[in-house]
Structure 1
Amino acid sequence: MGTSDRLAHADGSATTSRRGRPPSLTEDQIVDAALEIIRADGLEALSMRRLSQRLRKSQMAAYSYVADKQQLLDLVARRTLADVPIPDEATGPWDVRLRVLIDGIDAQLRRHPGIAGLLLQRMLHSDRRLVDAIMTILLEAGLAERQVLLSYSMIHTYLFGRYEVALADAPRHDTDLPPTLAQVIPYLDDLHGADYYNFGIETLIDGLRARVAENSREVID
């Protein structure tokens, strides 16, 4: 069956559209409608009722394709994460491939900020394709298994923190600041999201390069 005939569950099983009737909805239509609602009004606004209204279908018709909101969110996350390509060895050495892969994940998080947390959660607990790809690169780079786990945790934490922590509301015009804060605050207006991201990722990968080099020296010794 094609996409029009069945929708995948989070566990890989499928829901088949009404038997004997030509499908009137596709998975892409359902996911697109859900994303439109999230972009317009936020994740909390998404419900089966709103989905039905957006699709101009009855609520019962929507339930024929998606069992509940959780399955709907699984479909949204699965489709969104599927758009992140995994770089092959032709892309370059391990550090280049790692940066390309992290950039791809971050691009999807920025494209869908309303579900960034959902995507990261699914990446870790349900759709582990990208987690496995990152860990494969780290293992091939020369990190030990324990270091691979710690390194992935650091990467995941950094990506999540990008959407939880911001300096945009720092006190720019407060005249009663501690001396060092007063010294650096004037530079805040010159920094943008890409500056924070690039500095963080470059520093993170520099640290991993140092670990790989340290492991190589230990092998030689």
Structure 2
Amino acid sequence: MSPTPQERRAARHQAGPDKPAVRRGPSGGRKKPITVDAIVSTAFAIIEAEGYEALTMRRLAVALETGPSSLYAHVVNKEDLDELLIGRLCAEIELPEPDPSRWREQLVGVCTRLRDQYLRYPGISRAALAAAPSNLDTLRVSEGLLAIVLAGGVEPQVAAWAVDSLTLYVNAHTLEVSVANSRLRRADDGWVVSRDDMLRRFAALPETFPHTRRYAAQLTAGTTADRFHFTINLMIDGLPRTGQAT
């Protein structure tokens, strides 16, 4: 009986290096063998060049000069591939040893590194949304974040939900940046307006929007990085702590 998708995913963590699939046909000997690593690397190349939305199993098979069925010997489905992609990015994130005296700084640092990883590949954070992490490399980052929050004296249940909220915000932030950048690259980039345009639009609003008109400068101030760090720090500042760490 063939192994279930769950068994195949579990085996990937235990079986050691991925065994390459044998290429058949006249050109089989000239092509690089298909491995999980080759599949993931090729998927990243597609995302980097065309965006995450362009990545499908069929598109990936074409890039690897094989048929979609060949990929399923290594990757269970698109969701499994998504998990591998996020795992590869998380594997490159350096995690600090939790320090109760520096936990806030450490938390911001890890979230920033995760943001930067996602921004390397347009739209890649879609792969992390609505997915419970099970990849060991992804779980390593979640484990590191949880350890840092706990070192700050935050009660375990609050710490667990805080990690979920922080990673969800990083995912949403990077997705919004990717969508905005994609629109800017298209010919119809009028959908993404400049700050000056926004100020003019707010100034032209009717008097039923008094606060938006009065505080237009504040509403449009700051870079995406400014807003990212503001929100991360705002979330951290709102965490109730029971310990003595500062």
* TM-score normalised by L of structure 1: 0.73
Q: Which one of the candidate residues 162, 176, 179 is aligned to 2:205?
A: 176
**In 1: Cα distance, 2:34 partner to 2:78 partner:** 17
**Residues 61, 117 of structure 1: CA spacing in aligned structure 2 closer, same or farther, 3 A cutoff?**
closer
1:149 aligns with 160
Matched letter for residue 200 of structure 2: H
**In 2: Cα distance, 1:19 partner to 1:58 partner:** 13
SS at match of 1:52: helix
Tell me, yes or no, if structure 1 residue 25 matches structure 2 residue 54: no
In angstroms, what is the RMSD of aligned CA positions?
3.6
**Residues 84, 12 of structure 1: CA spacing in aligned structure 2 closer, same or farther, 3 A cutoff?**
farther
**In 2: Cα distance, 1:42 partner to 1:198 partner:** 25
SS at match of 1:84: coil
Instruction: Give 1:196 deviation, angstroms.
Output: 0.6
SS at match of 2:94: coil
* Structure 1 residues 79-116: Cα deviation after superposition (integer angstroms, max 9, x where no partner): 12211221124797222221221112111222234120
**In 2: Cα distance, 1:114 partner to 1:20 partner:** 32
Matched letter for residue 111 of structure 1: R
Instruction: Give 1:75 deviation, angstroms.
Output: 2.2
**In 1: Cα distance, 2:47 partner to 2:85 partner:** 10
**In 2: Cα distance, 1:48 partner to 1:63 partner:** 9
Q: Which stretch of structure 1 is more off in the superposition, 175-184 or 112-121?
A: 112-121
SS at match of 1:112: coil
Tell me, yes or no, if structure 1 residue 77 matches structure 2 residue 101: no
2:134 aligns with 126
Instruction: Give 1:67 deviation, angstroms.
Output: 4.1
**Residues 199, 50 of structure 1: CA spacing in aligned structure 2 closer, same or farther, 3 A cutoff?**
same
Q: Which one of the candidate residues 113, 136, 153 is aligned to 2:147?
A: 136
* Structure 1 residues 156-176: Cα deviation after superposition (integer angstroms, max 9, x where no partner): 342234246689669432202
* TM-score normalised by L of structure 2: 0.67
Q: How many percent of aligned residue pairs carry the same amino acid?
A: 25
- Tell me: higher relative CO, structure 1 or 2? Use CA pairs within 8 A at least 6 residues apart: 2
1:96 aligns with 105
**Residues 205, 107 of structure 1: CA spacing in aligned structure 2 closer, same or farther, 3 A cutoff?**
same
Q: Which stretch of structure 1 is more off in the superposition, 106-115 or 169-178?
A: 169-178
1:3 aligns with none
Tell me, yes or no, if structure 1 residue 43 matches structure 2 residue 52: yes
SS at match of 1:172: helix
1:5 aligns with none
Q: Alignment length, in residue pairs? A: 206
**In 1: Cα distance, 2:71 partner to 2:128 partner:** 23
**In 2: Cα distance, 1:38 partner to 1:149 partner:** 31
**Which runs of no fewer than 5 residues in structure 1 stay unpaired?**
1-7
**Which runs of no fewer than 5 residues in structure 2 stay unpaired?**
1-6, 181-191
**In 2: Cα distance, 1:20 partner to 1:182 partner:** 65
Instruction: Give 1:197 deviation, angstroms.
Output: 0.6
Contact 1:87 1:100 in 2 (8 A): no
Contact 1:172 1:186 in 2 (8 A): yes
